[in-house]
Amino acid sequence: MLFTALVLLIGVALGAVGFFVERGTSTWRPEVTRTGSGWRVVQTHQAPLGGLALGGDDLVWGCGPSIVLMDLNSGRLKLLGPGPASQATWDAAASQRYVVWFEAEGTSAGEASAWVYDSSTRRRRQLATLGDVLSLPSASGDRAVWCTTTPGGGPGIVAVNIPTGEQISVATEYGVPVIDGDIVTWPRRMGSTGMPAAWALVDLAQGRRWSMVPAATLRNADFLGYDLSGRTLVWGETDSESGLSRVIAQNVDDGGGSIVAEVPGGASLAAAPSIDGDLVVWAETLATPPGSRVMGRRLGGGPTFLIGDVDGRVLSTAASGGTVAWLAQQGQTTFIETAKVPR
């Protein structure tokens, strides 16, 4: 039976060679190393890393059209998208269990589809079809929200129940929504600096709708972006004239605002802040470039603390479940680093 074993062995060897050659020639695989505080993921091919998202034990990013997921416990990588019929993807959003992203034949295609990866069942499926992509998705718990063109042709904000695929209309207007729990929010009437004149808010569980004027804003400040956790909205703004930057937190129920951090001239806020529970995270460029540092502060009290020194310019940050991740660039190379923050 030596001959039959040899035939099997030759076949298995051919299959294994094919598998490892295909894996070795993939252009989405970065260099992943474990660090003292978490992980370091470095771009190894031409396409830069982007679209950072963090949810549960999953770190997600984009690399060219590829959507890549890394298990924060093992460092194992998975290519989530695009599927064989698609060539374009948009930045993904992650909740504790789900990763949601858009795919289309091309970025100019009028119709895209929303896909979801369920990390508990390890399955990927199509969640919905949508018209034009007017915003990136945002995900929290079992829900995702995004803005797309409605059947009538105008823009609309849609919430989707991920397990059932059931869609509900949140608003018939344009907005870049963020969801956390039952609350959906998006900025309204953004001026030339991007600073919104109001926050639109919807409580999906109670059907309540209201708006809120941003608190503690700097005059003529540039708006850097926003995030939502629980009943707290945070955003970053920077005033190029005075050189002052601020991270502001505002309670969506009573409108009470507070300055979480103020970055004086010389240094500046590098990207939009992130919030998870009572932890607010932001990145500051140092007065002596190209260094940056990722900082954190708990809204419950306590001083600002250093999460990580970054050798490069931070492009975005994310926080989830005691883990903080940041996407940074040094020269032509992009990289992602993660760190654990004590609760």
Partner 1 sequence: MTAWVRRRTPLLGPFGVRVLLWLLVELWILNVADLLLTRYSLSLGFATESNGVMDYFFKSGTVQAVAFKLGIVTVGTLLLWRLRHYRTSLIAAALLTAVFAAVVAYQALWVLSF
Residues that bind partner 1 (CB under 8 A): 1, 3-4, 7-8, 10-16, 18-20, 23, 78-79, 83-84, 122-125
| Least distance in angstroms from the C-beta of 11 to partner 1 | 3
**Interacting residues of 160 by C-beta distance below 8 A, sequence separation 6+:** 114, 127, 128, 143, 144, 145, 146, 166, 167, 168
Which strand (E) or helix (H) includes residue 162? none
Q: Which residue has the tokens 């019929």?
A: 85
Closest contact distance (angstroms) between CB of 17 and partner 1 is: 9
DSSP reduced 3-state for 11: helix
Alpha-carbon dihedral sign for residues 162, 164, 170, 171:
positive
For 250-280, give one letter per residue: b (16+ CB within 10 A) or e.
Answer: bbbeeeebeebbebeeebbbbbbbbbbbbbb
Sheet holding 196-203, edge to edge: 178-180, 183-190, 196-203, 208-212
Both tokens of residue 104? 């289309």
CB of 18 or CB of 256, closer to partner 1: 18
The distance of closest approach from Cβ of residue 336 to partner 1 in the complex, given in angstroms and rounded to an integer, is 21
Closer by beta carbon to partner 1, 65 or else 277: 65
How far apart CA 107 and CA 80 sit, in angstroms, is: 18
DSSP 91: -
Instruction: Provide, rounded to whole angstroms, the least separation between the CB of residue 68 and partner 1.
Output: 13
Nearer to partner 1, 85 or 205 (CB): 85
Q: Would you say 71 or 182 has its CB closer to partner 1?
A: 71
Nearest by Cα to 136 from 152, 157, 167: 157
Residue 17 or 287: the one with the smaller Cβ distance to partner 1 is: 17
Considering the complex, state which of residue 4 and residue 206 has its C-beta at the smaller distance from partner 1. Answer: 4
Task: For residue 109, give the DSSP letter.
Answer: -
Q: Nearest distance from residue 7's CB to partner 1, in Å?
A: 5
Q: Tell the smallest beta-carbon distance from residue 343 to partner 1 (Å).
A: 31
**C-alpha to C-alpha distance for 201 and 337, rounded to whole angstroms:** 32
CB of 126 to partner 1, least distance (A): 8
Give whichever of 4 and 108 is closer to partner 1, judged by the CB atom.
4
